[in-house]
Amino acid sequence: MMSGPGKGKIKIGKADVYVHLKGESGATVTHIDVELDELNKIIKPGENTYVGAKHGGVFLGLKKEMIERAERLAKKKK
């Protein structure tokens, strides 16, 4: 079960999520694509982070500079 909206959670958009199959559209390995322009304001193209599973979804762990960008974006969205 996902926890949904709550205190301290700022919605940044609605992502498109795909299973991208190996050998299709240039994929060299099957993976999950999460497509949302707002994410690139937090995680810049070429940067890496980690993902963890939770009931009903996943979370993205952020490095220090990503956290700073996420907090700036959240303040603008509030």
Segment 15-74, tens digit of pLDDT: 999 999 999 999 999 999 999 999 999 999 999 999 999 998 999 999 999 999 999 999
Burial annotation 14-32 (CB, 10 A radius, 16+ → b, else e)? eeeeeeeeeeeeeeeeeee
- Which residue would you say has higher pLDDT here, 2 or 11? 11
3-state secondary structure (DSSP) of residue 46: coil
Q: Kindly tell me if the per-residue pLDDT of 77 is higher than 70.
A: yes
pLDDT at 1 over 70: no
Q: Are the CB atoms for 41 and 69 separated by under 8 Å?
A: yes
Residue 25's pLDDT is what? 96
Q: Is residue 3 over pLDDT 80?
A: no
Secondary structure class of 31 (helix, strand, coil): strand
Judge whether 64 and 56 are in contact, CB under 8 Å. no
